[in-house]
Amino acid sequence: MKTETIAIHGGNIVNDPLNPVIQPITLSSTFGHQEGSMVYSRLENPNRKSLETVLAALEKGNDAAAFSSGNAAANAVFQALPAGSHMIAPDDMYHGLKSLLLTVFNQKIEVDFIDLTKPELLSDAIRENTQLLWIETPSNPLLKISDIQKLSKKAKKHGIRVVCDSTFASPVFQQPLGLGADLVMHSSTKYIGGHSDLVGGILITKEKDDFWKQIKNVQALAGAVPSPFDTYFLTRSIKTLPYRMKAHAANAAKIATFLDQHPFVEKVYYPGLEKHDGHLIANSQMQGFGGMLSFVIKGNAADADKLIDKLHYFTNATSLGGVESLIERRSRVQGVVPGIPEQLIRMSVGIENIEDLLEDLEQALGQF
C-alpha cells in the first residue's frame, strides 16, 4: 500500500459483529477474561492498538507505542536508558524536552548539547557511557536540518542508539528509520492530530529489541497513555494526513518566498528555500519541506508583537500543525535563548486559501 492508502486503511481494525465501516470507540477500562483478549486499558486498548498499527506502517517500523503527550513519549526513552548514561542532543532541542532533561533527569542522565548540523562535532562529544543520540530535524524554531543518515552511521560505529524527533516533518515527509535511526518520535498533538484539539505522543521502532521492551514497560507500568477517545480521533485524523501535509507545504513555500522578498524581513528560515543552509540535505532526506517556518523582521521584539497583532487569519498562539494558521514570537514562549533573536516569529502555516494568507501578511507588513 502507498502512503495515502495506509493512512486510510492501516488503522481501521474492525472486530464488531455488526461490521461498522469505521472502528468504534471502546471506552471500557477492562475486558472479560478470555483467550487472546485484552485485559486492562492502561496496558492495551483497541483504539490505541489501531493508532499504533497505522503509525508503525507509515514510518515503516516494526512496532509503535502511543503516549499521552510528546514529552511523555520522550520521557519513556530517557527512563529506558541505563543509570548513569550519557546522551547527545541538538543545541536547539525543543525547549520542552531540553527542560525535561535539565530538570527531571538532572544528575540522572548526562547530556551534551551540540550543533548536529555539523556531524564532525559528534565524534568529540562521544564518551564511554554514551548510550543515545537524539536528533531533531527540522528543528524548532530555527528549522535547522541535520543529516540523519550521516549522524546515524557515526553513532552506530560506537554502538550508540539513535532517536529522531520528526514532528515537524510528519511521517508523510520523512521516515528516519529508513535513514538509519532506531526510533522515531512525534508529538501527535501536531500534524498527526492536525486540528489543535488533543494532546499525544508516539514512538515507532525499527526493531523489537530489549531497549524497546523497556520502553513498552514504561508505557504499560507508568501509564502515561492516551485515552480511547483521543486515539480514535488521532486515527481518524491520519486518514487525511497525506493531503493535509501537501497543502501545508504548498502554502508554506509560497509564504516563505513572499517573506524572503519583503523589505521589512531580515531572514527567513525554511528548508524549501534554496538559500537555506540545510536545503540540499532536506531535499535528499525529505519528501516535502513541511508547513513550518520562522522569520526575523528588521525591527525589534516590540515590532514583532505589533506585527502579529495586526494579522487577521493567523492566531497568536503556541503549538503547531493544525489546519488553521498559528503565529507567535517564539521568545515570549520559551524565553530568551542564545542564538534565537528576540524578534524571531515562528509560523505554523495552515491550509486556508493562500491568497487570503498572503493578503493578510501584506497588509500587516505594509503598516511598518
Alpha-carbon Rg for the chain, nearest whole angstrom, is 21
Whether the Cβ atoms of residue 321 and residue 200 lie closer than 8 Å to each other: no
Residue 1's identity, in one-letter code, is M
266-322 pLDDT per residue, tens: 999 999 999 999 999 999 999 999 999 999 999 999 999 999 999 999 999 999 999
For the record, the C-alpha cell of 243 comes out as 493531503
- The pTM (predicted TM-score) of the whole model is 0.96
Q: How confident is the model at residue 8 (pLDDT cuts 50, 70, 90)?
A: very high
Q: How confident is the model at residue 368 (pLDDT cuts 50, 70, 90)?
A: confident
CB within 8 A of 161, min separation 6: which ones? 131, 132, 133, 155, 182, 183, 211
CA dist., res. 137 & res. 120, Å (int): 17
* pLDDT of res. 333: 83
306-354 pLDDT per residue, tens: 999 999 999 999 999 999 999 999 998 888 888 899 999 999 999 999 9
Q: Taking 90 as the threshold, does the pLDDT of residue 163 lie above it?
A: yes
CA dist., res. 340 & res. 101, Å (int): 20
CA dist., res. 280 & res. 275, Å (int): 10
Report in angstroms the alpha-carbon separations of 213 from 67, 210, 235, 366.
15, 5, 24, 56
* pLDDT of res. 244: 98
188-221 pLDDT per residue, tens: 999 999 999 999 999 999 999 999 999 999 999 9
Taking the CA atoms of 332, 334, 336 and 342 in sequence, report the sign of the dihedral they define.
negative
* pLDDT of res. 101: 98
Continuous segment of H or E residues that includes residue 88: strand 86-90
List active site positions.
42, 94, 165, 190
- 265 secondary structure, DSSP code: E
Q: Is 125 helix (H, G, I), strand (E, B) or coil?
A: helix
* pLDDT of res. 32: 95
CA dist., res. 145 & res. 136, Å (int): 8
CA dist., res. 162 & res. 151, Å (int): 9
Between the CA atoms of 154, 155, 159 and 162, what dihedral angle is there, to the nearest 10 degrees? -150
Report in angstroms the alpha-carbon separations of 112 from 86, 183, 259.
8, 20, 35
- Exposure b/e, 75-114, CB count within 10 A at least 16 = b: bbbbbbbeeebbbbbbbbbbbebbebbeeebeeebbbbbe
CA dist., res. 167 & res. 162, Å (int): 16
For the record, the C-alpha cell of 355 comes out as 491568497
Report in angstroms the alpha-carbon separations of 329 from 218, 299, 342, 343.
35, 13, 8, 7
For the record, the C-alpha cell of 360 comes out as 493578510
* pLDDT of res. 311: 98
Report in angstroms the alpha-carbon separations of 153 from 113, 114, 205, 208, 284.
19, 17, 17, 20, 16
CB within 8 A of 25, min separation 6: which ones? 47, 228, 229, 232
CA dist., res. 322 & res. 73, Å (int): 20
Whether the Cβ atoms of residue 168 and residue 140 lie closer than 8 Å to each other: yes
- Taking alpha carbons only, the member of 4, 46, 64, 16 closest to residue 231 is 46
Burial of 19 (0-12, 13-18, 19+ CB in 10 A): exposed
